[in-house]
Amino acid sequence: MASKALCIGINNYPGTANDLSGCVNDANDWAEELTRRGFAVTQLIDNQATRAAMIKAIGGLIDGAGKGDSLVITYSGHGTWVPDSDGDEPDGRDEALCPYDLASKGALIDDDIHDLFVRRAAGVRIILISDSCHSGSVTRGDEADLDPGMPRVRFMPPQAWMKGTLPPLALSAVAPRGGFTRAGGDLLLAGCQDHEYSWDTSFHGRPNGAFTYYALKTLREIKPTTYQKWFDAIRTYLPSTRLPQSPQILGTRKPRSFKVLK
């Protein structure tokens, strides 16, 4: 049984005025932790993370996996949405991840992710950790590590990269669920709920995504044994006053009870 991971981090978005600061650190931090846990890790950083490269890397990871293998995909960058073109979205929009060449090649929409994920062999576990998205409001959580004057949102407004007139739709979180099966070993950990933002910020003078920072902090300090316990630990920090994002976990009881990053 093999353990493989792909860690994607994109700070630089040419052709837009929406660069980020903590996503590359996120990808490097995830890669370090996963390597320490025995995963064979591949990374796509900034200009490496083109739309074509993301599709090739995710597809290659899935196509090369067999029964009993564990795959972890982490994504830190902007999320966005595009008008739905095939009528499969009740809200009229497809949620999407933003590759480096977003302005010229477009987004990686949830339909694309679905087409990649359904290629996996039976018995392959996929854990997707997405630190991107959208904004709500609650007040609690421990902010002792957070630097003053932060954060900024990890949402790319469609108007920043798409040409033409967009339909008057409310903006949405990017929780790329396409291709996931509730009957199998799939799990999604996302930085926030629908209609919220994930935040790009700084801790002790070092840029990071809020969700990634607290996910790794709790993983190392609390050492949770299951994904559900890990998620519960993250929720002691988020949402907070300056970080109004509510992380979410998507998956059935079985994958929630799996040992963390095994």
Q: Looking at the domain 3-256, which fold is it?
A: Rossmann fold (3.40.50)
Give CA–CA dist 187/110, Å, rounded.
15
User: What b/e sequence results for 74-83 when a residue is b if at least 16 CB atoms lie within 10 Å of its CB, and e otherwise?
Assistant: bbbbbbbbbe
Residue from 7, 23, 78, 192 carrying the catalytic annotation: 78
User: What are 53's two structure tokens?
Assistant: 């490269």
23: left (phi over 0), alpha (psi -120 to 50) or beta: alpha
Place of tokens 């095994």: 262
pLDDT of 161 reads 62
Answer yes or no: 133 catalytic.
yes
pLDDT of 79 reads 87
Type of residue numbered 122:
A
Q: Concatenated DSSP letters for the chain?
A: --EEEEEEE----TTSS---SSHHHHHHHHHHHHHHTT-EEEEEEGGG--HHHHHHHHHHHHHT--TT-EEEEEEES-EEEEE-SSS--TTSEEEEE--TTHHHH--EEHHHHHHHHTTSPTT-EEEEEEE---------S--TTBPTT--EE-B--GGGT--SPPP----------TT--TTTT-EEEESS-TT---EEEEETTEEEEHHHHHHHHHHHHT--SBHHHHHHHHTTTSS-SS-----EEES-HHHHTSBTT-
Give CA–CA dist 225/246, Å, rounded.
21
Answer yes or no: 114 catalytic.
no
What is the DSSP pairing of strand 125-131 with strand 79-83?
unpaired
Q: What's the sign of the alpha-carbon dihedral 207, 102, 28, 1? A: positive
Contact 227, 254 (CB under 8 A): no
Residue from 23, 98, 133, 192 carrying the catalytic annotation: 133
pTM of the model: 0.84
Find all residues with CB under 8 Å of 217, minimum gap 6, and list them: 145, 237
pLDDT of 148 reads 59
Strand order in the sheet with 93-97: 79-83, 93-97, 108-109
Domain assignments of the chain as residue spans, ordered by start: 3-256
pLDDT tens digits for the chain (262 residues)? Answer: 899 999 999 999 998 989 999 999 999 999 999 999 999 999 999 999 999 999 999 999 999 999 999 999 999 999 887 776 554 444 446 788 999 999 999 999 888 888 898 899 999 999 999 998 632 222 333 455 655 555 566 777 666 666 655 544 444 444 444 444 444 468 889 998 767 789 999 999 999 999 999 999 999 999 999 999 999 999 999 998 888 899 989 888 999 999 999 8
